[in-house]
Amino acid sequence: MKILLVQPASPPGALAGDDWFVFEPLALEYLAAGVPDDDVRILDMRLDGDLQTVLETFQPELVGATAYTVHVNTVKRLCETVKQWDAKAVTVVGGHHATVAREDFVEPAIDLTVVGEGVVPFREIVSRLKRRAALEGISGVAVQGTDSFVPLEESVTADIDALPLPARRLTAACRSRYFCDWLRPLASIRTSKGCPYRCKFCALWKLTCGKYVKREPRNVVAELATIEEENVFFADDESLLDSRRMQALAGLIRASGISKRYFLYGRSDTIARNPDLLQAWKEIGLDRVFVGLEFFRDEDLEYVGKGSKLSDNEKAIGILQDLEIDIYASMILRPEFEEHHFKELRRYCRAMRLDYPTFSVLTPLPGTDLYEEVKHDLITDNYDYFDFIHTLLPTRLSLKEFYKHYAWLINTVLPPRKRISFLRRFPAKDLGSILGRSIRVQRRVRNAWKDYETATEDLA
Protein backbone atom coordinates (compact mmCIF):
# COMPACT_ATOMS: atom_id res chain seq x y z
CA MET A 1 0.00 0.00 0.00
CA LYS A 2 1.22 3.53 -0.76
CA ILE A 3 1.31 5.52 2.47
CA LEU A 4 2.24 9.17 2.91
CA LEU A 5 3.08 10.33 6.44
CA VAL A 6 3.11 14.08 6.96
CA GLN A 7 4.83 16.23 9.55
CA PRO A 8 3.03 19.59 9.34
CA ALA A 9 4.72 22.97 9.55
CA SER A 10 3.60 25.39 12.25
CA PRO A 11 0.84 27.75 11.12
CA PRO A 12 2.08 31.12 9.84
CA GLY A 13 0.45 32.99 12.74
CA ALA A 14 2.27 30.93 15.35
CA LEU A 15 5.63 31.70 16.86
CA ALA A 16 6.49 28.05 17.34
CA GLY A 17 10.24 28.19 16.86
CA ASP A 18 10.61 26.40 13.49
CA ASP A 19 13.37 28.95 12.79
CA TRP A 20 15.45 27.70 15.72
CA PHE A 21 14.87 23.99 15.65
CA VAL A 22 13.63 21.30 13.32
CA PHE A 23 13.80 17.82 14.87
CA GLU A 24 13.46 14.60 12.96
CA PRO A 25 9.83 13.39 12.75
CA LEU A 26 10.44 10.47 15.08
CA ALA A 27 6.76 9.60 15.51
CA LEU A 28 6.36 9.13 11.75
CA GLU A 29 9.56 7.11 11.50
CA TYR A 30 8.15 4.80 14.19
CA LEU A 31 4.85 4.41 12.32
CA ALA A 32 6.69 3.63 9.09
CA ALA A 33 8.81 1.01 10.85
CA GLY A 34 5.60 -0.77 11.84
CA VAL A 35 4.63 -1.36 8.19
CA PRO A 36 7.93 -2.46 6.60
CA ASP A 37 6.31 -4.19 3.62
CA ASP A 38 4.45 -1.12 2.44
CA ASP A 39 5.60 1.76 0.29
CA VAL A 40 5.89 4.59 2.81
CA ARG A 41 7.05 8.16 2.27
CA ILE A 42 7.54 10.87 4.85
CA LEU A 43 6.86 14.46 3.86
CA ASP A 44 8.30 16.97 6.31
CA MET A 45 6.40 20.16 5.51
CA ARG A 46 8.68 22.24 7.75
CA LEU A 47 11.33 21.66 5.06
CA ASP A 48 9.26 20.98 1.96
CA GLY A 49 5.80 22.49 1.73
CA ASP A 50 4.66 21.01 -1.57
CA LEU A 51 1.98 18.51 -0.58
CA GLN A 52 0.13 18.77 -3.89
CA THR A 53 3.12 17.63 -5.95
CA VAL A 54 3.74 14.68 -3.64
CA LEU A 55 0.09 13.67 -3.85
CA GLU A 56 0.14 13.81 -7.62
CA THR A 57 3.46 12.04 -8.11
CA PHE A 58 3.26 9.46 -5.31
CA GLN A 59 -0.52 8.83 -5.41
CA PRO A 60 -0.88 7.62 -1.79
CA GLU A 61 -3.85 5.52 -0.80
CA LEU A 62 -3.45 6.43 2.86
CA VAL A 63 -2.27 9.75 4.31
CA GLY A 64 -1.36 10.06 7.99
CA ALA A 65 -0.54 13.29 9.80
CA THR A 66 0.78 14.02 13.26
CA ALA A 67 -0.25 17.04 15.33
CA TYR A 68 0.49 18.93 18.50
CA THR A 69 -2.22 21.39 19.53
CA VAL A 70 -0.65 24.20 17.51
CA HIS A 71 -1.04 22.07 14.36
CA VAL A 72 -4.75 21.22 14.70
CA ASN A 73 -6.07 23.73 12.14
CA THR A 74 -3.20 23.04 9.75
CA VAL A 75 -3.80 19.30 9.83
CA LYS A 76 -7.52 19.71 9.26
CA ARG A 77 -6.78 21.79 6.17
CA LEU A 78 -4.19 19.27 5.07
CA CYS A 79 -6.76 16.46 5.21
CA GLU A 80 -9.20 18.60 3.24
CA THR A 81 -6.53 19.07 0.57
CA VAL A 82 -6.02 15.32 0.42
CA LYS A 83 -9.74 14.68 0.05
CA GLN A 84 -10.06 17.34 -2.64
CA TRP A 85 -7.26 15.65 -4.51
CA ASP A 86 -8.82 12.18 -4.13
CA ALA A 87 -11.88 11.55 -2.00
CA LYS A 88 -10.97 7.85 -1.86
CA ALA A 89 -7.63 8.42 -0.13
CA VAL A 90 -7.95 7.47 3.55
CA THR A 91 -6.85 10.13 6.05
CA VAL A 92 -5.68 9.40 9.57
CA VAL A 93 -4.53 11.75 12.31
CA GLY A 94 -2.59 10.90 15.47
CA GLY A 95 -0.14 12.39 17.93
CA HIS A 96 -0.32 14.35 21.14
CA HIS A 97 -3.41 16.44 20.41
CA ALA A 98 -5.40 13.51 19.07
CA THR A 99 -4.50 11.69 22.27
CA VAL A 100 -5.73 14.40 24.65
CA ALA A 101 -8.64 15.84 22.62
CA ARG A 102 -9.63 13.49 19.80
CA GLU A 103 -13.03 15.22 19.49
CA ASP A 104 -11.22 18.14 17.81
CA PHE A 105 -10.61 15.94 14.81
CA VAL A 106 -14.24 15.03 14.21
CA GLU A 107 -14.25 16.40 10.66
CA PRO A 108 -15.60 15.02 7.39
CA ALA A 109 -12.11 15.11 5.85
CA ILE A 110 -10.57 12.97 8.60
CA ASP A 111 -11.44 9.28 8.40
CA LEU A 112 -9.61 7.95 11.44
CA THR A 113 -8.13 9.36 14.63
CA VAL A 114 -5.57 7.41 16.61
CA VAL A 115 -5.14 7.92 20.34
CA GLY A 116 -1.87 7.06 22.11
CA GLU A 117 1.03 4.98 20.80
CA GLY A 118 0.44 4.60 17.10
CA VAL A 119 2.60 1.77 15.77
CA VAL A 120 0.30 -1.14 16.57
CA PRO A 121 -3.05 0.49 15.66
CA PHE A 122 -1.55 1.99 12.50
CA ARG A 123 -0.27 -1.42 11.41
CA GLU A 124 -3.74 -2.83 12.04
CA ILE A 125 -5.39 -0.02 10.04
CA VAL A 126 -3.09 -0.71 7.09
CA SER A 127 -3.67 -4.43 7.31
CA ARG A 128 -7.47 -4.02 7.38
CA LEU A 129 -7.44 -1.52 4.52
CA LYS A 130 -5.47 -3.97 2.42
CA ARG A 131 -7.93 -6.72 3.25
CA ARG A 132 -10.86 -4.33 2.78
CA ALA A 133 -11.95 -5.27 6.30
CA ALA A 134 -14.05 -3.04 8.58
CA LEU A 135 -12.07 -0.48 10.56
CA GLU A 136 -14.29 -0.46 13.63
CA GLY A 137 -13.09 -2.02 16.86
CA ILE A 138 -9.34 -1.31 16.73
CA SER A 139 -8.08 -0.33 20.16
CA GLY A 140 -7.32 3.40 20.29
CA VAL A 141 -8.85 4.19 16.89
CA ALA A 142 -11.90 6.40 16.37
CA VAL A 143 -13.71 5.93 13.07
CA GLN A 144 -15.35 9.03 11.62
CA GLY A 145 -19.11 9.00 11.43
CA THR A 146 -19.45 6.07 13.88
CA ASP A 147 -19.36 5.74 17.65
CA SER A 148 -16.62 3.18 17.30
CA PHE A 149 -13.88 3.92 19.75
CA VAL A 150 -12.33 1.26 21.93
CA PRO A 151 -10.48 2.99 24.75
CA LEU A 152 -6.98 1.69 25.05
CA GLU A 153 -5.56 0.51 28.32
CA GLU A 154 -2.43 -1.19 27.09
CA SER A 155 -0.85 2.08 25.90
CA VAL A 156 -0.36 3.08 29.52
CA THR A 157 2.09 0.32 30.11
CA ALA A 158 3.19 0.06 26.49
CA ASP A 159 6.47 -1.76 26.18
CA ILE A 160 8.31 0.81 24.12
CA ASP A 161 11.20 -1.61 23.74
CA ALA A 162 8.94 -3.93 21.77
CA LEU A 163 8.48 -1.32 19.03
CA PRO A 164 10.58 -1.55 15.88
CA LEU A 165 13.42 0.94 15.50
CA PRO A 166 12.38 4.17 13.73
CA ALA A 167 12.73 3.98 9.93
CA ARG A 168 15.32 6.75 9.71
CA ARG A 169 16.18 5.81 6.11
CA LEU A 170 12.92 7.50 5.07
CA THR A 171 14.27 10.88 6.16
CA ALA A 172 17.71 10.33 4.62
CA ALA A 173 17.28 13.28 2.24
CA CYS A 174 16.41 15.67 5.05
CA ARG A 175 18.65 14.47 7.85
CA SER A 176 21.36 17.08 7.37
CA ARG A 177 18.68 19.74 7.96
CA TYR A 178 17.53 18.57 11.39
CA PHE A 179 18.99 20.83 14.04
CA CYS A 180 18.54 22.77 17.23
CA ASP A 181 20.49 26.03 17.42
CA TRP A 182 24.12 25.10 16.78
CA LEU A 183 23.58 21.33 17.18
CA ARG A 184 23.46 20.33 13.53
CA PRO A 185 22.77 17.78 12.17
CA LEU A 186 20.78 16.44 15.10
CA ALA A 187 19.13 13.02 15.48
CA SER A 188 16.49 12.05 18.05
CA ILE A 189 16.03 8.88 20.05
CA ARG A 190 13.33 7.92 22.54
CA THR A 191 14.65 6.15 25.64
CA SER A 192 11.64 6.53 27.97
CA LYS A 193 8.12 7.86 28.18
CA GLY A 194 5.98 9.41 30.91
CA CYS A 195 6.69 11.12 34.17
CA PRO A 196 5.65 10.56 37.79
CA TYR A 197 5.36 14.28 38.62
CA ARG A 198 2.12 16.24 38.43
CA CYS A 199 2.75 19.67 36.89
CA LYS A 200 -0.61 21.24 36.20
CA PHE A 201 0.43 22.75 32.87
CA CYS A 202 1.49 19.35 31.50
CA ALA A 203 -0.57 16.36 30.36
CA LEU A 204 2.26 13.89 29.93
CA TRP A 205 1.96 12.31 33.37
CA LYS A 206 -1.68 11.55 32.66
CA LEU A 207 -0.91 9.70 29.44
CA THR A 208 1.00 7.02 31.31
CA CYS A 209 -1.07 7.30 34.51
CA GLY A 210 1.98 8.71 36.26
CA LYS A 211 4.20 5.78 35.27
CA TYR A 212 7.72 6.16 33.97
CA VAL A 213 8.10 3.70 31.10
CA LYS A 214 11.73 2.92 30.31
CA ARG A 215 13.70 1.17 27.62
CA GLU A 216 16.47 -1.23 28.50
CA PRO A 217 19.84 0.55 28.34
CA ARG A 218 21.28 -2.13 26.04
CA ASN A 219 18.49 -1.50 23.52
CA VAL A 220 19.13 2.24 23.64
CA VAL A 221 22.82 1.63 22.96
CA ALA A 222 21.96 -0.72 20.09
CA GLU A 223 19.80 2.00 18.53
CA LEU A 224 22.43 4.68 19.15
CA ALA A 225 24.90 2.54 17.23
CA THR A 226 22.65 2.83 14.16
CA ILE A 227 22.55 6.65 14.29
CA GLU A 228 25.03 8.44 12.09
CA GLU A 229 24.65 11.99 13.41
CA GLU A 230 27.09 13.23 16.01
CA ASN A 231 24.42 15.16 17.96
CA VAL A 232 21.61 13.22 19.57
CA PHE A 233 18.51 14.52 21.35
CA PHE A 234 16.64 12.30 23.80
CA ALA A 235 12.95 12.70 22.93
CA ASP A 236 11.82 11.73 26.43
CA ASP A 237 9.41 13.54 28.69
CA GLU A 238 12.19 13.48 31.31
CA SER A 239 15.43 11.60 30.68
CA LEU A 240 17.36 11.55 33.96
CA LEU A 241 14.64 10.43 36.39
CA ASP A 242 15.91 6.93 37.06
CA SER A 243 19.46 7.66 38.06
CA ARG A 244 20.51 4.02 38.38
CA ARG A 245 19.32 3.28 34.86
CA MET A 246 21.01 6.38 33.50
CA GLN A 247 24.30 5.39 35.21
CA ALA A 248 23.99 1.97 33.59
CA LEU A 249 23.28 3.58 30.22
CA ALA A 250 26.30 5.89 30.55
CA GLY A 251 28.46 2.85 31.40
CA LEU A 252 27.23 0.91 28.37
CA ILE A 253 27.72 3.87 26.03
CA ARG A 254 31.25 4.31 27.32
CA ALA A 255 32.00 0.58 26.90
CA SER A 256 30.57 0.61 23.37
CA GLY A 257 32.97 3.32 22.27
CA ILE A 258 30.10 5.37 20.79
CA SER A 259 31.14 8.99 20.72
CA LYS A 260 28.37 11.57 20.40
CA ARG A 261 27.12 14.81 21.91
CA TYR A 262 23.88 14.46 23.83
CA PHE A 263 21.04 16.85 24.59
CA LEU A 264 18.35 15.73 27.03
CA TYR A 265 15.65 16.83 29.48
CA GLY A 266 16.39 16.88 33.20
CA ARG A 267 14.42 18.12 36.19
CA SER A 268 16.38 20.43 38.42
CA ASP A 269 15.75 18.39 41.57
CA THR A 270 17.00 15.22 39.85
CA ILE A 271 20.15 17.04 38.79
CA ALA A 272 20.57 18.54 42.27
CA ARG A 273 20.38 15.06 43.83
CA ASN A 274 22.70 13.40 41.32
CA PRO A 275 25.85 15.41 40.60
CA ASP A 276 27.79 12.15 40.01
CA LEU A 277 25.34 11.11 37.31
CA LEU A 278 25.82 14.40 35.50
CA GLN A 279 29.60 13.99 35.82
CA ALA A 280 29.37 10.51 34.28
CA TRP A 281 27.25 11.84 31.41
CA LYS A 282 29.56 14.79 30.85
CA GLU A 283 32.37 12.30 30.38
CA ILE A 284 30.51 10.44 27.63
CA GLY A 285 29.42 13.58 25.78
CA LEU A 286 26.47 15.27 27.52
CA ASP A 287 26.55 18.72 25.96
CA ARG A 288 23.26 20.32 26.89
CA VAL A 289 20.37 19.82 29.30
CA PHE A 290 16.88 21.24 28.88
CA VAL A 291 15.85 22.24 32.41
CA GLY A 292 12.36 23.50 33.20
CA LEU A 293 13.44 26.06 35.78
CA GLU A 294 10.07 27.73 35.04
CA PHE A 295 10.00 30.53 37.61
CA PHE A 296 12.07 32.79 39.81
CA ARG A 297 9.70 32.53 42.78
CA ASP A 298 8.79 29.49 44.87
CA GLU A 299 5.15 30.60 45.01
CA ASP A 300 4.87 30.19 41.21
CA LEU A 301 6.54 26.77 41.28
CA GLU A 302 4.04 25.78 43.92
CA TYR A 303 1.10 27.19 41.91
CA VAL A 304 1.92 24.92 38.95
CA GLY A 305 2.64 21.92 41.19
CA LYS A 306 6.17 21.57 39.87
CA GLY A 307 7.33 19.70 42.94
CA SER A 308 10.74 21.38 42.92
CA LYS A 309 12.00 24.56 44.54
CA LEU A 310 14.17 27.52 43.66
CA SER A 311 16.88 25.96 45.83
CA ASP A 312 16.82 22.87 43.53
CA ASN A 313 17.05 25.10 40.48
CA GLU A 314 20.01 26.96 41.90
CA LYS A 315 21.83 23.82 42.94
CA ALA A 316 21.24 22.27 39.48
CA ILE A 317 22.50 25.40 37.75
CA GLY A 318 25.66 25.27 39.89
CA ILE A 319 26.28 21.58 39.09
CA LEU A 320 25.79 22.04 35.35
CA GLN A 321 27.89 25.19 35.21
CA ASP A 322 30.74 23.53 37.14
CA LEU A 323 30.66 20.67 34.64
CA GLU A 324 30.42 23.10 31.70
CA ILE A 325 27.22 21.50 30.46
CA ASP A 326 24.96 23.96 28.61
CA ILE A 327 21.68 24.82 30.29
CA TYR A 328 18.69 25.28 28.00
CA ALA A 329 16.74 27.10 30.70
CA SER A 330 13.01 27.16 30.15
CA MET A 331 11.32 30.04 32.00
CA ILE A 332 7.60 30.79 32.15
CA LEU A 333 5.90 34.19 32.11
CA ARG A 334 2.62 34.39 33.96
CA PRO A 335 -0.13 36.43 32.27
CA GLU A 336 -0.41 38.32 35.56
CA PHE A 337 3.11 39.72 35.13
CA GLU A 338 3.59 43.46 35.49
CA GLU A 339 6.59 45.48 34.44
CA HIS A 340 8.52 44.77 37.66
CA HIS A 341 8.14 40.99 37.19
CA PHE A 342 9.83 41.17 33.79
CA LYS A 343 12.63 43.19 35.38
CA GLU A 344 12.99 40.76 38.29
CA LEU A 345 13.07 37.81 35.93
CA ARG A 346 15.78 39.45 33.83
CA ARG A 347 17.76 40.19 37.00
CA TYR A 348 17.36 36.58 38.13
CA CYS A 349 18.57 35.13 34.81
CA ARG A 350 21.57 37.42 34.91
CA ALA A 351 22.31 36.64 38.57
CA MET A 352 22.19 32.93 37.73
CA ARG A 353 24.53 33.59 34.78
CA LEU A 354 22.21 31.71 32.41
CA ASP A 355 23.63 31.56 28.88
CA TYR A 356 20.47 30.33 27.19
CA PRO A 357 17.25 31.36 28.95
CA THR A 358 14.07 30.89 26.91
CA PHE A 359 10.72 32.43 27.80
CA SER A 360 7.24 31.10 27.16
CA VAL A 361 3.86 32.18 28.45
CA LEU A 362 2.02 29.92 30.91
CA THR A 363 -0.24 28.02 28.50
CA PRO A 364 -3.32 25.99 29.42
CA LEU A 365 -3.06 23.07 26.98
CA PRO A 366 -6.00 20.74 26.48
CA GLY A 367 -5.60 17.67 28.64
CA THR A 368 -3.97 19.52 31.53
CA ASP A 369 -5.37 20.39 34.95
CA LEU A 370 -4.55 24.02 34.23
CA TYR A 371 -6.80 23.92 31.17
CA GLU A 372 -9.70 22.61 33.24
CA GLU A 373 -9.10 25.34 35.81
CA VAL A 374 -9.08 28.29 33.41
CA LYS A 375 -10.77 27.16 30.18
CA HIS A 376 -13.65 29.59 30.67
CA ASP A 377 -11.24 32.53 30.82
CA LEU A 378 -9.46 32.00 27.49
CA ILE A 379 -9.17 35.10 25.34
CA THR A 380 -8.73 33.01 22.21
CA ASP A 381 -9.46 29.41 21.36
CA ASN A 382 -7.71 29.57 18.01
CA TYR A 383 -5.26 26.66 18.16
CA ASP A 384 -2.84 28.49 15.85
CA TYR A 385 -1.98 30.59 18.90
CA PHE A 386 -1.30 27.68 21.25
CA ASP A 387 2.39 28.27 20.64
CA PHE A 388 3.53 29.24 24.14
CA ILE A 389 4.21 32.81 23.02
CA HIS A 390 0.66 34.05 22.55
CA THR A 391 -1.07 34.35 25.89
CA LEU A 392 -4.37 32.52 26.00
CA LEU A 393 -5.36 34.12 29.28
CA PRO A 394 -6.09 37.77 30.03
CA THR A 395 -2.99 39.74 30.98
CA ARG A 396 -2.91 42.25 33.81
CA LEU A 397 -0.97 44.69 31.63
CA SER A 398 -2.52 45.67 28.33
CA LEU A 399 -1.51 43.14 25.65
CA LYS A 400 0.56 45.81 23.97
CA GLU A 401 2.51 46.52 27.17
CA PHE A 402 2.86 42.83 27.99
CA TYR A 403 4.47 42.12 24.62
CA LYS A 404 6.61 45.24 24.81
CA HIS A 405 8.15 43.94 28.04
CA TYR A 406 8.33 40.40 26.68
CA ALA A 407 10.33 41.57 23.65
CA TRP A 408 12.51 43.73 25.90
CA LEU A 409 13.27 40.71 28.08
CA ILE A 410 14.30 38.56 25.11
CA ASN A 411 16.36 41.37 23.69
CA THR A 412 18.24 42.35 26.81
CA VAL A 413 18.45 39.27 29.03
CA LEU A 414 21.96 38.40 27.89
CA PRO A 415 24.63 40.94 28.74
CA PRO A 416 26.68 41.96 25.65
CA ARG A 417 29.59 39.63 26.51
CA LYS A 418 27.28 36.62 26.72
CA ARG A 419 25.56 37.62 23.52
CA ILE A 420 28.89 37.50 21.72
CA SER A 421 29.71 34.07 23.16
CA PHE A 422 26.23 32.90 22.14
CA LEU A 423 26.84 33.99 18.55
CA ARG A 424 30.25 32.30 18.57
CA ARG A 425 28.54 28.93 18.98
CA PHE A 426 27.33 29.15 15.38
CA PRO A 427 29.51 28.75 12.28
CA ALA A 428 30.65 32.17 11.04
CA LYS A 429 28.81 31.67 7.73
CA ASP A 430 25.48 31.49 9.60
CA LEU A 431 25.90 34.65 11.68
CA GLY A 432 24.01 36.90 9.27
CA SER A 433 21.00 34.61 9.23
CA ILE A 434 21.11 34.13 13.02
CA LEU A 435 21.04 37.87 13.59
CA GLY A 436 18.26 38.26 11.05
CA ARG A 437 16.21 35.55 12.75
CA SER A 438 16.74 37.06 16.22
CA ILE A 439 15.55 40.44 15.02
CA ARG A 440 12.56 38.87 13.31
CA VAL A 441 11.54 36.96 16.44
CA GLN A 442 11.83 40.02 18.65
CA ARG A 443 9.77 42.05 16.22
CA ARG A 444 7.09 39.38 16.03
CA VAL A 445 6.92 39.03 19.81
CA ARG A 446 6.68 42.79 20.20
CA ASN A 447 3.79 42.85 17.72
CA ALA A 448 2.04 39.71 18.95
CA TRP A 449 -0.66 41.83 20.61
CA LYS A 450 -1.95 42.78 17.16
CA ASP A 451 -2.82 39.12 16.44
CA TYR A 452 -5.60 39.25 19.01
CA GLU A 453 -7.58 41.67 16.90
CA THR A 454 -8.37 38.71 14.64
CA ALA A 455 -8.06 36.00 17.31
CA THR A 456 -10.80 37.39 19.55
CA GLU A 457 -13.21 37.35 16.61
CA ASP A 458 -12.90 33.56 16.74
CA LEU A 459 -14.43 33.52 20.21
CA ALA A 460 -17.27 35.84 19.34
List the single partner that 267 binds among ligand SF4, ligand B12, none, CB under 5 to 8 Å by kind. ligand SF4
Residue placing its CB nearer to ligand B12 in the complex, 281 or 371: 371
| Residue 318 makes contact with ligand B12 by CB under 6 A | no
Residue placing its CB nearer to ligand SF4 in the complex, 170 or 272: 272
List the single partner that 229 binds among ligand SF4, ligand B12, none, CB under 5 to 8 Å by kind. none
Residue placing its CB nearer to ligand B12 in the complex, 249 or 365: 365
List the single partner that 197 binds among ligand SF4, ligand B12, none, CB under 5 to 8 Å by kind. ligand SF4
| Residue 263 makes contact with ligand B12 by CB under 6 A | no
Residue placing its CB nearer to ligand SF4 in the complex, 24 or 312: 312
Query: CB 254 → ligand B12: shortest distance, Å?
Result: 25
Contacting residues toward ligand SF4, per CB under 6 A: 195, 197, 199, 202, 204-205, 237-238, 267, 292
Neighbours of 189 (CB within 10 A): 22
| Residue 170 makes contact with ligand B12 by CB under 6 A | no
| Residue 326 makes contact with ligand B12 by CB under 6 A | no
Q: What character string, x for contact with ligand B12 (CB under 6 A) and - otherwise, covers 363-402?
A: --x---------------------xx--------------
| Residue 148 makes contact with ligand B12 by CB under 6 A | no
| Residue 26 makes contact with ligand B12 by CB under 6 A | yes
* 37: Cβ contacts below 8 Å, ≥ 6 apart: none
* 414: Cβ contacts below 8 Å, ≥ 6 apart: 355, 422
| Residue 310 makes contact with ligand B12 by CB under 6 A | no
| Residue 192 makes contact with ligand B12 by CB under 6 A | no
Query: Binding to ligand B12 (CB under 6 A): which residues in 341-360?
Result: 360
User: What are phi and psi for residue 447, nearest 5 degrees?
Assistant: -95, 5
Query: Quick one: which segment of 92-100, 279-287, 395-403, 442-450 binds ligand B12 (CB under 6 A)?
Result: 92-100
Query: CB 235 → ligand SF4: shortest distance, Å?
Result: 12
Beta bridge partners of 64: 5, 92
Residue placing its CB nearer to ligand B12 in the complex, 283 or 373: 373
Question: Alpha-carbon distance 225 to 67, whole Å?
Answer: 29
| Residue 292 makes contact with ligand B12 by CB under 6 A | no
Residue placing its CB nearer to ligand SF4 in the complex, 212 or 385: 212
List the single partner that 238 binds among ligand B12, ligand SF4, none, CB under 5 to 8 Å by kind. ligand SF4
Question: Alpha-carbon distance 110 to 108, whole Å?
Answer: 6
Residue placing its CB nearer to ligand SF4 in the complex, 197 or 403: 197
Question: Alpha-carbon distance 123 to 128, whole Å?
Answer: 9
| Residue 235 makes contact with ligand B12 by CB under 6 A | yes
The size of the interface with ligand B12 (CB under 6 A), counted in residues, is: 39
List the single partner that 21 binds among ligand SF4, ligand B12, none, CB under 5 to 8 Å by kind. ligand B12
Binding site for ligand B12 (CB under 6 A): 10, 16-18, 21, 23, 25-27, 30-31, 64-66, 68-70, 92-97, 99, 114, 117-119, 122, 190, 202-204, 235, 237, 360, 365, 387-388
